[in-house]
Structure 1
Amino acid sequence: MSKSATDVIKGLRKGKIDRTAFLTTVYSEIREEVKSPDLATKTNAIRKLFILALEGYDMEWASFHILEVMSSQKFSQKHSGLLAASQCFKPNSDILFLATNFFRRELVANNTIDTCIAINTLACIVNADMSKELLNDCVTLLNASKPILRKKVCVLFYKLFLQYPDGLVICFERLAEKLRDESPGVVMGTVNTIYELSRLNPAFVLFTAQALYEILNTTTNNFVLIKLIKLFVELAKVEPRLLKKLSGPFIRILTSNPAKSVEFEVIRAICAVFPESEDMLRIILQKLPGFLDSHDPNCKFYIVKYLGLVVLHKLIQINRDYAEEYRIFIMEALQSKDVTIRLRALELIKITTTNKSLIETIKNLLIEVEKPINAGIKEELISTCLYLLSLNQYELVEDFKWMFEVLLQIVNFKTSIHEAQLSSIMLDVVLRVEELREEACELSLNALEIFDTLKSEKCEALTALLFIIGEFSNYFSEGNLIKALSLVTKPRWELLNFHESVYNALSSCVFKIFIRAKEDGVFKACVKKLEENSVQIEHMESQERSLLYLNILTTSDKEKLNFVLKPFLPIHPSAQSLIFPPDALQQNFIVNDDELFTTKSDGTLEYHYYREEDFGDIQMTDQEKKAAKLKIKEKQMQDPYYIKPKKGKKKKGKKSKKLEGKVEEIKETAEVVKEEEIKKPEAPKKYSVNRAEPLIPS
C-alpha cells in the first residue's frame, strides 16, 4: 500500500530512522503515483510532494500534474492542487499560460469558497501577463454580494498593481470607492492596499485623504487605526497641510485608546511629523512609564529599541532633565538578556550621560564588561566607555585621576579592537593635563608590574605606558626611578614576542631614565639593557635605536643631554605662519603628473618615464653634439662588457644604406627650439595649520 501524507509526516517525526533513505523512498513512490490516471492517487502524490518540498526537494517537474489536480471538481482535490501551485508555480513559470484560463473561470464561479482559494493562490503566483488578463474580472468582483470576496480582491489588487502598474490608472478609483463600503473587512483590506501603495508613491493616493480622515475619526478597529496612522505619516510628507488636521485625532487616540500597539504607532508618528510640538511630547511623557513598567517583553523591546531612540532623543533636545527621569529604566535595559535591547540602551547612554552621572554610568558599564557576556556586546560596552570619557575633549570628566584608573582597568580586559584608541587617549590626557602627570606615572608604574597578563596583543597600550614612564620620570623619586629601571630591564621582555614599537619605546624609556638618574648603578644598568636590546631583539629598527642610544650614553656628556628633559608646551595657533619656506622652494611644482601614466582598455596602467614634448625643447650646437658623442665613446671603451668593433672597413649592404637614409631623415626633421628661460621662483606662500588645543581642557 502507498503511503498517505499523514504517514509521511509521522515517518519524518520518528527519530530512529534513516531520514535520507526514507525521503528517497517516498520521492520515488511519488514519481510513480503522479503518472496514475486516477485523480485521487495523483492528489495523494501531490500532497506528499508538497511535504517533501518543505524538506528542500524540487517539485517544479510536477507542474502539469498540479494543474490537473487543481482543475478537479472536488473541493478537497482542488484545494490540494492550489496549495501546491502556490508553492511550485513562480511568476516566470511557463505553466502559467495554461493556468490563466483556469483562474478566469474560478473568479467568475458561483462557488464562493472556490473563488476565495483561487484568489489566495493567484496572489502568490501572479505575473504581468496574468494581471493584465484578469484585471477586469477582479474589478467585477468589487461588486460581489459576499463581503469576503470583496475583501480578498481588494487585497489582491496590490499584487496586480505591482505586476501591472498601468492598472492603477484604469481601476484605482473603483478600488478607492470601497473605503465607504458597509463591511469593515472590505474597508480594512482597502486601507491596507492603499497604505502599501503610498509607500511607493504617496502623491498618487493623496486624493483619498478625505475618506481616510473620516475613517480615522470613526473606526474602532485597532488594525485599521495602525494602518491609517502609518498612511497619514506618508501622506504628510507630500502634503504638509494635513498636519493641522491630524493633531486632534492623534491626541484623542493617544489619550483614549488603551492598546499598546496603537499607542506606540501614534507616538512614533508624532515624533515623525510633530517633532516641535511640546504639548504632544508632554502627553508622550505621561505614556512612557506605562511602557517601561510593563511586564510584557514585547513592549519592553519596543520602548527601548524604538521609543528610546526616537522619543527620548527628541525629549532630551527640548529639555535635558528628561534624561534624568528615565535613567533608571535605561540602566535596567542595559542588563537585559536581549542583545538588541542592550545596544539601544548604549545609544541612549551616549546621549543622556552628564558630568554628574559619568562616574556612575562608567561603573555600571565596567560591571557589565566583567560579566561572561557576548564578545560583541563587550566591545560595544568598552567603546561606549571610551566615547564618554573622550567626548568633546573630556568635557564630562572632572576627576582625571579617576579617568586614568578607568583606562588602566580597561587595559586589563582582553580586547584588541579598541587598543589604538585606548593608548591614544592615555597619551593625550597625560600630555594635556599637567597636574595628572605625577599620578599617571605612579599608576603606569604599578600597571607595568603586572604586564605579564597583557601579553603581546596589548602592545599599543604597553607602548603608551613605557612612554609615560620614560617621558615623565622626573616625577619619580630616586627609589621609584630605580624601581622603574628594574622593571624595564628584566629579562622577561625578551621572553615575550612583542611588537617592534614596544621595543622602540623600551629603548627610549631606558634612555630617558638614564638622563634623570644620579647613581652610577642606574647608569650601568641602562647601558647593559641597551647592549642587550642591540643583540637579543630580532627587529632591525629596534637594534639600531638601541645602538644609537648606547652610543649617545657612552660618548656624550650627561649634562649636554638635558634638552630631552624639556617639558611639552602648547603650540601657538599662528606658530606655523611665522615660519617661511626657503626662496628656492617651488611650492607649485608638480612632482607626479597624471600624464606620466595612462589606463589601458584592460584596466592596467601603462607608465611613461618621459614626456615626448620635453625633448622638443632641447637645442644643441655642433660642438655640444661632438662632445656628447665623445663622452659616449669614452664610456663604451671603459665598459668591460662592451663589444668593440673590429678594425677594417666593411662593405655597406643594402640594409645599412637604408638605415643610414632613415637616420638622415630623422636628423633633418628634428625640431629646434630656444632654450627655456629660467623663471624666478614665485613669492613664498604662508603655511597654515589647524588650531592647537590647550593642554588642560577648558
Structure 2
Amino acid sequence: MGSLRSFIKAVRKAKTIADERAVIQKESAAIRTSFRDVSLDHTTRRINISKLLYLYIMGEKTHFGQVECLKLLASPRFADKRLGYLACMLILDENQEVLTLLTNSLDNDMQHPNAYIVGLALCCLGNIASPELARDLYQNVETILDSKNNFLKKKACFVAAKLIEKEPDLSEFFLPKALDLINEKNPSVLLGTLRLIQSLHSIGETSINSTIPKIVNHLKRISTSGYQPDYDVMGTTDPFLQVSLLETLRILGGSSEEINDILTQVASLDSGKNSANAILYECVKTIFTIDSDQSLKILGVNILGKFLSTKDNNTRYVALDTLLSIVNIEPLAVQRHRSTIINCLTDGDISIRRRALELAFGIINEQNIRVITREILTFLETCTDFELKSYVTSQITIAANKYSPNDKWHFDTLIRVLEHGGNALTNDIMSNILALILQCEDQELKKHVVLKLYESSLKDNNQFGLILITSWALGEYGDLILNNEITESSITDLFDNILENSTFSSNEIIQLTIFILTAVLKLSSKFKNPKTIERLRNIISSKTYDSNLEIQTRAVEYQEIFGQDSNLKKGLLSKMPPPPIKQRESLKLHKNNTSNNQTTNNKRIDNNNLGDTQNNLLDLIDIDDLPPTSQDNDVLSDIFGDNSTTTTNKPSSSINEIKAFENSNLKVSFIPKKISSGEAIIETKITSTQTITQIQLLIAVPKTQKLIITSTSGDSLNINRSIIQNLKITGKEGSKLKLRVKIKYKLNNEFIEDQFDFSGFNKTI
C-alpha cells in the first residue's frame, strides 16, 4: 500500500471518471482489508486514516473507518492523536452511536500533562459534542477554566459555550466562571470569555448582563492603548477582540451614556484598512441595534457613506447592504448619500448593482423621485438580466403610483418602462397601467398617452408589453388621436404589422391576437372610412379558421357582432367603466431564507420576493374577477370577458377534498367521488398561486390494482385556474388505495420535478 501522496497522484492522473472511480474503489478496498488486520501498527493505521480523510473530502463513504479513528487516539504519539482527532471531527457527528466510545479518550486526554494534547481533545469536544458528552465531560472543562494556562483557558471557554448550547442546564456551572473570567486582561482568554457570555445570554441567562460595564471598560482600554506588536493588524490594535467586544455589547443590548461615549470613540477610528473597517462596521451595527443617540445614528450612516466611496467592492457591498437595513430608521441621513448610491448603479459588479438598486428604491420620496427614476430608467435601458428587469419595472410602477408629482409625468414614466421592459413586465404591471388609463378623466392627457403609446409602438414593435397595451388603448381610444398624420389606415397598418411580427413566442402571439381582434371590433364602430372598415372586417375574418381554438372562437363571435346594427354595436362596444387600482406591495431582490419548499432544488426567486408580482392573471381591468382560458399561457380576457366555448375548469372545491401534497409552487388534492365495491373514482386537482406551464402528471398504483386515467384539463396553472384529472382505480375489494405521484412542470423557464406517495384515503375499495 502506497502513501497518501501516491494515492492523490493516482486519482489526479485518471483521465476519465471511470478510471478515477476504479482507483478510488481499489484503494478503498485496500483500506478495508488493512483495517481487518489485528496486528496493524499505528504508522500504517495513520496512513490509512489520512487516505480515509481524502476519500471523505471527495464525498466517498467512510463509515467503515470510524472505529479505526478512535483506535488511533490510543497512541501516545502526538502525531497520531492529532490525525485521530481530526478524523473524528470530520467523520463523526453527535448522532453517531460510536461517539460513546470517544468519551474515555477525551476524558484521559483532557487530563494529559501535555497542553497541546489537551487542546486537541477540547477542540474535538467542541466540534462534535452531544448532550450526553456534554453532561459527561463538563467537569473536565470546568477544571481547565481554573488553570493558569491561557492557551487552554481560551479553548475551554469556547468549548463551554458549545456545551451550554447542547445542554442549557450546564449554565449554572459555567455562569460563575464567565463572571470571573470577564476580569481577565489577556486578549485570548477575553475573546473566549465573550463567546461564553454570548452563549449564556442566548439561553436566557439575564444575570450575564451585569458584565456590560466591564465590557465597556475593556473596549475603552483597547481602543486607547498604544502599539502592541503581538496584537497589531495593519495599524489597528487587536481588531478581532474589538469586534467581539462590540458584538457582545450589541447582543446584550442596553443603553447608557458610557456606551454612547465608547461607541462615539470607536467610530472615530481612521478607516482605510480592512481591519479598521471591520471594527467600524461592527460599531455601526451596534449603534442601530441598541437604543443609541440620534447623533450617533447619523454618525453611523456617515461611516457607511465613507465605505461607499472606497474602491474595495466588498466594503461597498457591506455598506449598501447595511444602509438598506437602516433606511427606514434614518431615511434623511441615508438621503444625504443619494448621489453615491446612484453612482453604484453603473458599477461593474452585479452584486453591488443589485443592492444599489434596492437602496435607490428605498430612498425614493416626493422630492427626489424625478432624479432617481431618471437614473433607474437609464439603468433599465442597458440591463440584460431578466430578473433585474422584472424587479425594476415592478418597483418603478409602485414608486410612480405613490410619489408621482403629476399625472403626465406618471404616464410618461410608465410608457418608458413599457419601452424598455421587454418581456420582463409582469401581469399586474400591465393591468395597473390599463386601469390608470381608464381612470384618467383629462381627455387631453388621455390623448397624449394614447398618442405616445402609438408612436412608441411604431418605433419598436418588438416590445410585448408595449404592443399589448397599445393595442388595447387604440381599440378603446384610437379615435382621439386621428389627425392629418395619424389616419384610420395607419392604425390598421400597425395592427397588420403586429400580426405579421414573428419575433414573439406562440403564447405571446395568441395574447396579442386576442387583443387586436377586440381592438379591431371596437374601432369598427368608430371609424368612418368604408375601405378601412372593410380592412378591419378582413382582419377578423382571417382568424375564423385559426389553428388556435381560442382565437378562432373569438373571431367567429366578433364576425357576428361586426355585422350587427350600428346602434346595437355602439351600445355593446361602448367605453369600459374605470376600475379600482390595486395597491401593490414593495418587493425585495434578495431571497427569503425561510422558504417552505423542501422538495425542489432549483434556484429561483422566492414567492415572497419578485415572484409575488406574477401571482395574478392579466386582464384589461381587474384580473381577479375574470375566468381563465384554455391556452398554455392564459389568453388575456378582453372587454367581453370569457366566451362560452372555453374548456378550462374553474377551481373547484369540495368538503371531501384531501390535501395530498403542497410546496411553495403548487398544491395537489384528491376528491373521492366513489370508493366501494372494488372500484374508486377520484378527482385530482392541482392549484397554484403562480404561473406554471408544461405540467405533466404521472400516477402509479400497486400491481394488484388497475388504473385508468383521463387526460388533464390543461397543462398550465395560475391563481385563477386549476387542473383537473379523473382517476378510476379497480382492484380486490377491501384493498387499500396507494398512489405514487410524480409531477413535472416548468416555472420561471426551469423544469422542476416533485414526487410523493399518498395513502390517506379513509376508505378501502
TM bucket (normalised to shorter chain) is: 0.7 to 0.9
SS in 1 for 2:240: helix
**Superposition pairs for residues 472-487 of structure 1, below 5 Å?**
472-477=477-482, 479=484, 480-487=486-493
Q: Which residue of 2 aligns with 1:470?
A: 475
| Residue 73 of structure 1, CA deviation | 0.9
When residues 200 and 437 of structure 1 are mapped into structure 2, their CA distance, relative to the original with a 3 A threshold, is same
> What SS does the corresponding residue of 1:181 show, helix, strand or coil?
coil
Identity over aligned pairs, percent:
17
> Among 383, 406, 415, which residue is 2:416 paired with?
406
8 Å Cα contact 1:131-1:164 kept in structure 2: yes
Q: Deviations over 1:32-84 (max 9, x none)?
A: 33324222112211111112211112222122222221110111122221211
Corresponding residue to 2:432 among 424, 429, 443: 424
Q: Is the 8 A contact 1:305 1:340 kept in 2?
A: no
* Cα pair 2:654 2:671 within 8 Å, conserved: no
1:375-414 residue pairs with structure 2 within 5 A? 375-391=386-402, 394-395=404-405, 399-400=409-410, 402-411=412-421, 413-414=422-423
TM-score of the aligned structures, taking structure 1 as reference length: 0.72
Larger radius of gyration: 1
Q: Look up the match of 1:209.
A: 212
Structure 2 counterpart of 1:233, which letter? R
Q: CA deviation at 1:151?
A: 1.1
1:58 paired residue number: 61
Cα distance 1:382–1:566, how it changes in 2: closer, same or farther (>3 A)? closer
The letter for the 2-side match of 1:301 is Y
Residue 523 of structure 2: aligned partner = 513
Partner residue in 2 for 1:302: 318
Answer yes or no: is the 8 Å Cα contact 2:345–2:353 preserved in 1. yes
Deviations 1:392-448 (A, max 9, x none): 5x447653563254144135x242x52441353155146425332222232333344
Structure 2 CA distance, aligned partners of 1:600 and 1:297? 52
- Within a 5 Å distance, the mapping from 1:87-486 to structure 2 comes to 87-201=90-204, 203=206, 205-220=208-223, 221-236=238-253, 240=254, 242-256=255-269, 258=271, 259-274=276-291, 277-306=293-322, 308-316=323-331, 318=332, 323=335, 325-354=336-365, 357-371=368-382, 373-391=384-402, 394-395=404-405, 399-400=409-410, 402-411=412-421, 413-415=422-424, 417-429=425-437, 431-432=439-440, 433-449=442-458, 453-454=462-463, 458=464, 461-477=466-482, 479=484, 480-486=486-492
In 1, Cα distance between equivalents of 2:406 and 2:566: 46
The match for 1:543 among 548, 555, 580 is 555
> CA shift at 1:527, angstroms?
3.8
CA distance in 1, matches of 2:108, 2:579: 87
Q: Tell me what 1:26 maps to.
A: 27
* Structure 2 residue aligned with 1:5: 4
Whichever residue aligns with residue 437 of structure 1, its letter is K
CA deviations 1:318-349 (Å, max 9, x no partner) are 46xx52x3222112222234343222212211
SS of residue paired to 2:354 = helix
Q: Displacement of 1:312 after TM fit?
A: 4.5
User: What residue identity is the alignment partner of 1:27?
Assistant: S
Change beyond 3 A, Cα 1:518–1:48: closer
State the Cα distance separating 1:378 from its structure 2 match. Answer: 2.9
Structure 2 residue runs of 5 or longer lacking an equivalent are 224-237, 581-652, 661-668, 675-765
More strand by proportion, 1 or 2?
A: 2
Higher helix proportion: 1
Within 2, Cα distance between the matches of 1:269 and 1:467? 54
After TM superposition, the structure 1 = structure 2 runs for residues 600-615 of structure 1, keeping only pairs within 5 Å, are none
Confirm or deny: 8 A CA contact 2:142 2:174 kept in the other structure: yes
Once residues 419 and 670 of structure 2 are traced to their aligned partners in structure 1, the CA distance between those partners, rounded to angstroms, is 51
- Measure the CA separation in 1 of the matches of 2:672 and 2:4: 68
Amino acid in structure 1 at the alignment position of 2:128: I
Indicate conservation of the 8 Å contact 1:473/1:513, yes or no.
yes
- Quickly say closer, same or farther: Cα 1:546–1:167, change in 2 above 3 A: same
Pick closer, same or farther for the CA change 1:372–1:15 going to 2, 3 Å. farther
Find the aligned partners of 1:215 and 1:532 in 2 and give their Cα distance.
84
Amino acid at match of 1:25: K
| AA in 2 matched with 1:252 | Q
Q: 1:540-619 counterparts in 2 under 5 A?
A: 541-552=553-564, 555-556=565-566, 561=570, 597=655
The answer to whether the 8 Å contact 1:445/1:484 transfers is no
- Structure 1 pair 438–396 and aligned structure 2 pair: CA distance change class (3 A): closer
Specify the code of the residue in structure 1 equivalent to 2:522: K
User: Matched residues in 1 for 2:190 and 2:452: separation?
Assistant: 71
Runs of 5+ in structure 1 lacking a partner?
572-594, 609-698
Q: Distance in 2 between matches of 1:605 and 1:569?
A: 40
Could you tell me the TM-score, scaled by structure 2's length?
A: 0.66
The answer as to whether partners of 1:362 and 1:385 remain within 8 angstroms in 2 is: yes
Corresponding residue pairs, total = 565
Aligned to 1:314, what secondary structure does the other structure show? coil
Cα distance in structure 2, aligned partners of 1:596 and 1:82: 60
SS of the residue corresponding to residue 145 of structure 1 reads: coil
Q: Secondary structure at the match of 1:219?
A: helix
- Tell me the SS of whatever aligns to 2:499: helix
